Amino acid sequence: MRYGRYPFIVGFLAAPVAIYVTFVIAPYAQAFYLAMTNWRGVSANPKFIGLQNFERLLQDDIFWKAVRHHGLLLLAVPLITIAIALFFAFMLNVGGGGRRGEMTGVWGSRFYRVVFFFPQVLAVVIVGVIFSRVYAPDDSGLLNGALTAVGLEPVLFMADPDIALWSIVAVLIWQAVGFYVVLFSAGMSSVPKEIYEAATIDGANRTNMFFRVTLPLLWDTLQVAWVYLGIAAFDAFAIVQVLSVDQGGPDGATTVLGMEIYRNAFSYSQFGYASAMGVALFFLTITFAALTLRVSKRETIEL
Amino acid sequence: MSVNPESVSDLTRRTVLRRAAAAGLLATPAAGLLTGCVGGGNDEPTDQAEGEKTKDNPLGVKADAELEVVIFNGGLGTKYATDVHVPSYKAKFPQANVKFSQAEEIATVLQPRFTSNTPPDMVNNAGSKLMDQGALVQAGQVQDLTELFEADSLDIPGKKVKDTLIPGTIEQGSFNGKPYVLNYAFTVYGLWYDSALFEKNGWTAPKTWAEFTALCDKIKAAGITPYSYAGANAAYYQYLAILTSAAKIGGPDVLKNIDNLEPGAWTNDAVKQAAAAWAEIGAKYGNKAHLGLKHTEVQLQQNQGKVAFYPSGSWLENEQAKDTPPAFKYAVMPVPSVTAADKLPQTSIFASAGEMYFVSSKGKNPRGGMEYLRHMLSKAGAKGFTEQTKVLTVVQGAVDGVAVSPGLTSGNAMLTAAGSDYFSYRWPDWYKKLDDEARAATNELMFNGGSADRFCERMQKAADAVKNDPSIEKFKR
């Protein structure tokens, strides 16, 4: 290696690495340490108690309830979001069929593309507030107003423990779909036109075009989408905090780990225990991402 | 300074020194008075401002020391501090700079300052993001207020501060027998209604449960929801009503046992009877949709004449001031008696000193902080507070001669009628976890087909879990 190369590299790397260590690695390390203390957040000297917090965690019903909710979110949110987004993206890009040798979207697709992206522009909290009006349990709510107008009983979206979590799922999907429509659209537009032309000439209909051509060529993008959505499903805190009854209720029916971490830290003042939950969440997320990438590993098709 | 006399670690150097000093100076009436003389413990900052104690300055405030005050900006606003108490302090100590600030989220703003040992001197710990007061006391961050309560009142001649307060105030802010917190606002709780609406319909405030349900039937027939509360964030208004009934049936010890986490405190017959009576109200006269509403939304419905009775505290009138139509006249009544054999009379009520103010023991000017509280507890300070907020204070008779609103008048009358028959509990402040469980259990009881047995067993289980959790500091009263 030539003289002067190391100082050059170090000079460029030092600042970002230092920032990353200070603001990402150090807080993580601190959380691991705090998880083994009984820190209550109001004094400067936490007491070390080993793994006690984790033992408690294993026996904590509400923790397992939150984990089960993440399980459901992990299945439902990515699956439904990707299905809807793929359908829309296909319709916007290829659904119109071939016109003068070019694949086009359905009529008005440029307009739809913008509209689909709207929810993505809104802050999560605003989405929560909007849906608290949509889901309002009496006739002042958007949905229940319509239901009661046609003589139906109002649905207690957030107040009925059986459907509260699904109402949250619907909001998460509503908000995420737009982004993935755009992501998949980008993926589809990078598929060479000749492939579609060839498929059209071979007499492929839209269904075949979608499953045999588009989907395989989008595999990488789908994989990324699945990981992103999975991680979003591990979060879901803001929506639950703003939208759910009694912060994760009724009766814990919508709670997620983020909510429980927040509750333990800031309302029970048990920062140590909350950190232990945070550590658990960290490992759950890492495991999920690793598993997803491993399971979905597949050769990219050579173009 | 530790607060739990049961723990061995209580014997810090500081307490040992203080006890030794107290033993040496037997003539001193209260050992707490010596705190200032001994001082110098390991974990204490040594540069706390201290002046000379005189008749005029009983707390020994250093006249030119800066004082930092942080007030929660919520339903009560902050005008009472900036317009009344800060000027009062400055008038007495013109050389002192009073650094005032307000916060909507007390914990977010202040918690880091406590962990870094640079706390403000006087804090109004309130709002939905308040700091855990028990944890602060446990961590030795809170000044013992014994000296303040023993000092002479600022403007009520011949009385000590403690003698000017409504009985029970000091106990309400005590942790294991030591006063650490001043609960300043005096709140009465009951069922609120629109007296104009009731008068128009010829309805009168019911006293017995039979009268209550009969009236609810009439109200329901008139197309109004007879009784409701907001499940989304204010279920604690309702468990307060349930436990008020329990205390009336079985006497105030029912609540004391709950506070002290006694075995079977929640499965007590009085609690069961109360829960059963309220479950029926929820099932028959409630509105299921209100489980999904916030307190302001249900309160607005009451202002619009859609809800008749609403359980709440005396801050309600001020909170709704903007949305209350001019014809709407707030009135409050005690929770009706459940049985004819209730231990407490129908006029008995839940009432308590609330809204916490405390002084940081590790701040730069704890004497100034206590002095500030003395100004709040002066007659002028209390009167100014009530004028600004329409809320009573713990200072006796300070409201005399103040023009009051219909709700405050009604609340005052209810308090007078109750005489000494008022009671309260502390457990939601002590054990936040239990509070969360009670909210969920109450919503189940009132909205989701729960039963009194289920409610009591669920709460007992949660209380036992708190009791057996070594990581949670226990309190007694």
Whether A253 contacts A165, CB under 8 Å: yes
Tell if the CB–CB gap between A44 and B291 is shorter than 8 Å: no
Pick the residue of A57, A243, A269 with the most B CBs within 10 A to test the interface with B by mutation: A269
Torsion sign (Cα): A23, A25, A27, A30 = negative
For domain A53-296, give the CATH superfamily. Answer: MetI-like (1.10.3720.10)
Decide the pairing of beta strands B349-359 and B182-194: antiparallel
Residue B476 within any structural domain of the chain? no
Find residue B393's DSSP bridge partners.
B185
Residues of B in contact with A247 (CB under 8 A): 233
pLDDT for the residue numbered B37: 31
Residues of A in contact with B289 (CB under 8 A): 137-138, 154, 156, 159
Q: How far is B413 from chain A (nearest CA, A)?
A: 34
Let me know whether B29 and B141 are in one domain: yes
* Region A121-133 average pLDDT: 86
pLDDT for the residue numbered A99: 58
Tell if the CB–CB gap between A42 and B141 is shorter than 8 Å: yes
Pick the residue of B142, B229, B291, B431 with the most A CBs within 10 A to test the interface with A by mutation: B291
Out of B131, B141, B232, the one facing A246 most closely (by C-beta) is B232
Residues of B in contact with A246 (CB under 8 A): 231-233, 235, 439-440, 443
Tell if the CB–CB gap between A250 and B136 is shorter than 8 Å: no
Pick the residue of B110, B117, B433, B466 with the most A CBs within 10 A to test the interface with A by mutation: B433
Secondary structure (3-state) at A270: coil
CA separation for the pair B177, B476 (Å, rounded): 8
Tell if the CB–CB gap between B111 and A42 is shorter than 8 Å: yes
Residue B300: which CATH number? 3.40.190.10
Residues of A in contact with B288 (CB under 8 A): 137, 156, 159
Find residue A58's DSSP bridge partners.
none
- Per-residue 3-state assignment (H helix, E strand, C coil) for chain B: CCCCCCCHHHCCHHHHHHHHHHHHCCCCCCHHHHHHHHCCCCCCCCCCCCCCCCCCCCCCCCCCCCEEEEEECCCCCCHHHHHHHHHHHHHHCCCCCEEEEEECCHHHHHHHHHHCCCCCCEEEECCCCCCCHHHHHHCCCECCCHHHHHCECCCCCCCEHHHHECCCHHHHCEECCEECCEEEEEEEEEEEEEHHHHHHHCCCCCCEHHHHHHHHHHHHHCCCEEECCCCCCCHHHHHHHHHHHHHHHHCCHHHHHHHCCCCCCCCCHHHHHHHHHHHHHHHHHCCHHHHHCCHHHHHHHHHCCCEEEEEEECCHHHHCCCCCCCCCCEEEECCCECCCCCCCCCCCEEEEEEEEEEEECCCCCHHHHHHHHHHHCCHHHHHHHHHHHCCEECECCCCCCCCCCHHHHHHHHHHHHHCCCEECCCHHHHCHHHHHHHHHHHHHHHCCCCCHHHHHHHHHHHHHHHHCCCCCCCCCC
Per DSSP, A42 falls in state S
CA separation for the pair A9, B409 (Å, rounded): 76
Residue B100 within any structural domain of the chain? yes
Q: How far is A250 from chain B (nearest CA, A)?
A: 7
DSSP string, A7-34: HHHHHHHHHHHHHHIIIIIHHHHHHHHH
Let me know whether B129 and B206 are in one domain: no
* CB neighbour burial string for A187-215, b if at least 16 within 10 angstroms, e if fewer: bbeebeeeebeebbeeebeeeebbeebbe
Tell if the CB–CB gap between A245 and B141 is shorter than 8 Å: no
pLDDT for the residue numbered A116: 81
Let me know whether B179 and B197 are in one domain: no
Residue B473 within any structural domain of the chain? no
Q: At residue B452, what is the residue type?
A: A
Let me know whether B193 and B295 are in one domain: yes
Nearest alpha carbon to residue B274 among B45, B34, B456, B59: B456
Using a CB–CB cutoff of 8 Å, tell me whether B289 touches chain A: yes
Residues of A in contact with B470 (CB under 8 A): none
Chain B residue nearest residue A160, CA to CA:
B448
Helix axes A219-235, A61-93, angle to 10 degrees: 140
Nearest alpha carbon to residue B282 among B316, B246, B241, B323: B241
Tell if the CB–CB gap between B444 and A250 is shorter than 8 Å: yes
Tell if the CB–CB gap between B135 and A161 is shorter than 8 Å: no
Let me know whether B200 and B344 are in one domain: yes
Inform me whether the pLDDT recorded for A105 exceeds 80.
no
Chain A residue nearest residue B458, CA to CA:
A251
Residue B396 within any structural domain of the chain? yes
Q: How confident is the model at residue A298 (pLDDT cuts 50, 70, 90)?
A: low
* Region A69-86 average pLDDT: 91
Residues of A in contact with B290 (CB under 8 A): 137
pLDDT for the residue numbered A139: 76
pLDDT for the residue numbered A3: 65
Residue B16 within any structural domain of the chain? yes
Tell if the CB–CB gap between A245 and B117 is shorter than 8 Å: no
Inform me whether the pLDDT recorded for A76 exceeds 60.
yes
Q: How far is B248 from chain A (nearest CA, A)?
A: 28
Task: Domain of residue B386: give its range.
Answer: 5-187+352-412+420-428
Whether A100 contacts A151, CB under 8 Å: no
pLDDT for the residue numbered B87: 93
The ipTM (two decimal places) reads 0.73
CA separation for the pair B396, A287 (Å, rounded): 62
Residues of B in contact with A159 (CB under 8 A): 231-232, 288-289, 291-292, 447
pLDDT for the residue numbered A276: 92
Tell if the CB–CB gap between B289 and A137 is shorter than 8 Å: yes
Residues of A in contact with B287 (CB under 8 A): 138
pLDDT for the residue numbered A79: 92
Using a CB–CB cutoff of 8 Å, tell me whether B228 touches chain A: no
Decide the pairing of beta strands B182-194 and B392-393: antiparallel
Tell if the CB–CB gap between A250 and B440 is shorter than 8 Å: yes
Average pLDDT, chain A: 83
pLDDT for the residue numbered B373: 94
Let me know whether B131 and B279 are in one domain: no
* Region A26-31 average pLDDT: 87
Whether B165 contacts B377, CB under 8 Å: yes
Let me know whether B228 and B297 are in one domain: yes
Chain A residue nearest residue B294, CA to CA:
A245
Tell if the CB–CB gap between A269 and B232 is shorter than 8 Å: no
Our CA dihedral for A109, A114, A119, A120, rounded to 10 degrees, sits at: 110
Chain A residue nearest residue B119, CA to CA:
A42
Angle at A170 between CA A247 and CA A288, to 5 degrees: 80
Regions of chain B with pLDDT less than 50: 1-44
Residue B472 within any structural domain of the chain? no
Let me know whether B458 and B388 are in one domain: no
Let me know whether B101 and B70 are in one domain: yes
pLDDT for the residue numbered A83: 92
Using a CB–CB cutoff of 8 Å, tell me whether B448 touches chain A: yes
Can you list the alpha helix ranges (DSSP code H) found in chain A?
5-20, 26-34, 52-58, 61-93, 109-121, 124-134, 142-149, 164-189, 193-201, 206-208, 215-217, 219-235, 237-243, 257-262, 271-295
CA separation for the pair B235, B311 (Å, rounded): 10
Q: How far is B78 from chain A (nearest CA, A)?
A: 24
**Domain count along chain B:** 2
Angle at B347 between CA B341 and CA B348, to 5 degrees: 80
Whether B51 contacts B61, CB under 8 Å: yes
Residues of A in contact with B439 (CB under 8 A): 246, 249
Residue B474 within any structural domain of the chain? no
Out of A44, A136, A251, the one facing B115 most closely (by C-beta) is A44
Out of B292, B432, B448, the one facing A267 most closely (by C-beta) is B432
Our CA dihedral for B113, B117, B118, B123, rounded to 10 degrees, sits at: 60
Residue spans of the domains in chain A: they are 53-296
Let me know whether B57 and B105 are in one domain: yes
Interface of A with B (CB under 8 A): 38, 40-44, 56, 135-138, 154, 156-159, 161, 245-247, 249-252, 263, 266-270, 273
Joined together, the tokens standing for residue B253 give 């010890």
The secondary element (H helix, E strand) that includes residue A104 is strand A102-104
Using a CB–CB cutoff of 8 Å, tell me whether B447 touches chain A: yes
Tell if the CB–CB gap between A245 and B288 is shorter than 8 Å: no
CB count in 10 Å sphere of residue B66: 14
Chain A residue nearest residue B127, CA to CA:
A267
